[in-house]
């Protein structure tokens, strides 16, 4: 039985991937901040065919308990084949309106939590003979984007850490897949941090017109099963990633024209 731990599993990409792995017969550990929102996902996954679903709620703004959380996730299914660090939070504030408290909160959830999970899980995975770690970044981690200074910074940082992990642990049986979504039809903009730390509470037009989340999940699960190093998820907005690679000046000019909401 394939065993998978997914963070950010109560909605969006995490929920859709959980359902897809469940239909493939995988055992699941599901983590998000709200137990109430996780329980319906767990019930759906069981109905889809998962032989075992464990709910482990956790607030990733608290870094101290992550090693214990990782141990519980590992023991819940007697080991993990795949760990998918997907939990994250976005923002809708300009640089001057983004407090350092907001930057730290975003970094804690988006960057430090996946790093702490990876560090906690690597030892048991290597001892077991290998495993697979996936992490959700963003095209905002490939080029700067208006109203996303903290979010974009956290996603850039993930690339640095997990590309290093790829290099160091490849020969120890550890595979790493970096999942890079563009616009996917999820509720991330609704829960994004706005001025004063309040929730944005609005669906961005770009988000609403994004790739359906089930299509994103299909591509992500397939990429992990094939051991892909990186997978880009989205539509025409992904062209910006290639523009940045070959024409960075043009990418900077285009980014200035993007409507951020």
User: Domain of 152?
Assistant: 3-257
Write down the pLDDT at residue 260: 58
Question: Which bin fits 26, alpha (ψ -120 to 50), beta or left (φ > 0)?
Answer: beta
Catalytic, 58? Answer no
Query: How remote is the C-alpha of 139 from its chain's centroid?
Result: 12
Write down the pLDDT at residue 200: 80
* pTM > 0.75: yes
Residue tagged active-site, from 58, 84, 111, 151: 151
Number of domains in the chain: 1
**Does the CA dihedral 215-221-225-226 come out positive or negative?**
positive
Write down the pLDDT at residue 182: 92
pLDDT exceeds cutoff 60 at 261: no
Write down the pLDDT at residue 52: 98
pLDDT digits (tens, 9 = 90+) for 59-95: 999 999 999 999 999 999 999 999 999 999 999 999 9
Q: How far apart are CA 156 and CA 6, in angstroms?
A: 21
Which pLDDT band, with edges at 50, 70 and 90, does 8 fall under?
Answer: very high
CATH at residue 127:
3.40.50.720
pLDDT digits (tens, 9 = 90+) for 126-145: 999 999 999 999 999 998 88
In 3-state terms, the chain is what percent helix, strand and coil (to 5)?
50, 15, 35
Which pLDDT band, with edges at 50, 70 and 90, does 259 fall under?
Answer: low
Phi/psi of residue 260, nearest 5 degrees = -75, -20
């Amino acid at each position: 039985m394939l065993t998978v731990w997914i963070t950010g599993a109560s909605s969006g990409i995490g929920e859709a991937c959980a359902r897809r792995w469940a239909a493939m017969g995988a055992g699941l550990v599901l983590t998000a901040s709200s137990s109430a929102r996780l329980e319906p996902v767990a019930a759906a996954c069981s109905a889809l065919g998962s032989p075992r679903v464990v709910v482990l709620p956790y607030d990733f703004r608290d870094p101290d308990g992550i090693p214990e959380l990782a141990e519980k996730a590992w023991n819940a299914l007697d080991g993990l084949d795949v760990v998918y660090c997907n939990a994250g939070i976005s923002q809708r504030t300009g640089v001057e309106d983004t407090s350092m408290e907001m930057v730290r909160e975003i970094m804690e959830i988006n960057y430090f939590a996946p790093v702490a999970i990876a560090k906690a899980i690597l030892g048991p995975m290597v001892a077991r003979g290998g495993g697979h770690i996936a992490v959700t970044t963003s095209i905002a981690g490939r080029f700067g984007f208006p109203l996303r200074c903290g979010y974009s910074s956290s996603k850039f940082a993930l690339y640095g850490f997990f590309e290093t992990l790829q290099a160091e642990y490849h020969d120890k049986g550890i595979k790493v897949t970096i999942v890079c979504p563009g616009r996917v039809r999820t509720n991330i903009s609704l829960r994004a941090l706005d001025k004063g730390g309040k929730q944005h509470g609005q669906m961005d037009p770009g988000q609403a017109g994004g790739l359906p989340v089930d299509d994103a999940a299909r591509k992500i699960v397939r990429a992990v099963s094939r051991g892909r190093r990186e997978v880009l998820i989205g539509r025409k907005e992904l062209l910006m990633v290639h523009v940045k690679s070959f024409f960075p000046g043009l990418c900077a000019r285009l980014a200035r024209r993007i409507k951020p909401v």
